[in-house]
A and B are shown apart, each in its own frame.
Chain A
Amino acid sequence: MTALVGVVVFPGSNCEMDCVESVGLLGGEGRLLWHGDDDVSGVDAVIVPGGFAHGDYLRPGAIARFSPVMSAVARFAADGGPVVGICNGFQVLTEAGLLPGALQKNSGLKFLCQPSTIRVSSENSSLTSRASVGDELSIPINHFEGNYTCDSETLAKLRGEDMIVLRYVDNPNGSVDDIAGVCNEGRNVVGLMPHPERACNEILGSSDGGVLLGSLLDLAA
């Protein structure tokens, strides 16, 4: 059965069609979920995509988390449904309390759109089941606020419970412990700053993102 992946659209989101395209390329089917609808029923997985939800005004994700769709996403996640937040979506999930920590401005105080190499730190998450610990993936980053931050107890817990899913090989933004992606305790909710949907086609420079989104589809199918 084709996995049906819901892709949330807030006003200001901009990576939603890219996610739909890449999910389709990997054999799944993407369906847009409007932020004003309190309903995600029927989908097998949810992606909260990149962009600038509500203009990133106040703080990235701060306004988006109050959208009706986020209540539905929270219920879906609580029932064990796989949820992935990419870039701005990661920011939304931390603001919504579905993932620990927060994302600050890059340490270089510049927006960065460039290739990045990330290393798989845990294969036990909804996004990394097809990968092996230590795999290096070439997946681009595209953000101003991707500097992952948390307090020391949270960091100890993330390490102790294998919740750090992906790390940068060359930390581009100052993230603590080179963190590029984390999961929740249930391991079904994952957030990451790099854009796997931009790395699903060799002609665009890399297809390594297929390992991550493919894992999500395995879980969903």
Chain B
Amino acid sequence: MKFKVQVDVSLRSGIADPAGATIERALPALGYEGVSGVSVGKTIRFTIEASDQEEAEAHAEDLCASFLINPVIEDATVTVEAGNGDL
């Protein structure tokens, strides 16, 4: 079976996020008030072959922990859904 995986990578709490801070600082000048907590991350998407949802999640979590993120500075949320191809 094929599963669609989406990994949302964000900076761990407490790690400085200069990109997020810069965007936040720029907003008032552009006329957007009241926006806070801006954080910048990235999304990685792929399909994975597995026998069931549980195995797919385990594979994805493992791939994420060993390669896709650097646990010193990053956290990830992994979403796995049954399905093929285009996300």
Residues of B bordering A, CB below 8 Å: 14-16, 18-19, 22, 67-68, 70, 72-73
Contacts and interface: CB of A to CB of B under 8 A. Distances in A.
Interface stretch (A33-41, A71-79, A97-105, A120-128): A97-105
10 contacts: A102-B70, A104-B16, A104-B18, A104-B73, A105-B19, A106-B18, A107-B18, A109-B22, A149-B15, A174-B16
A123 to B, nearest CB: 27
Interface residues on A, range: 10 to 19
B68 A109 contact: no
Nearest to B15: A149
Contacts of A95: 70
A107 B15 CA distance: 12
Contact of A102 (B18, B68, B73): B73
Given A105-B18, A109-B19, A58 B72 contact: no
Contacts of B72: 94, 101-102, 149-151
Interface in A10-46: none
A66 B68 CA distance: 12
Nearest to A104: B73
Contacts of B73: 102, 104, 149
A102 B12 CA distance: 12
Given A149-B16, A149-B73, 16 more contacts: A58-B67, A59-B70, A62-B67, A62-B70, A94-B72, A95-B70, A101-B72, A104-B16, A107-B18, A108-B18, A109-B18, A109-B19, A149-B15, A151-B72, A174-B16, A174-B18
Contacts of A101: 72
B58 to A, nearest CB: 20
A149 B15 CA distance: 8
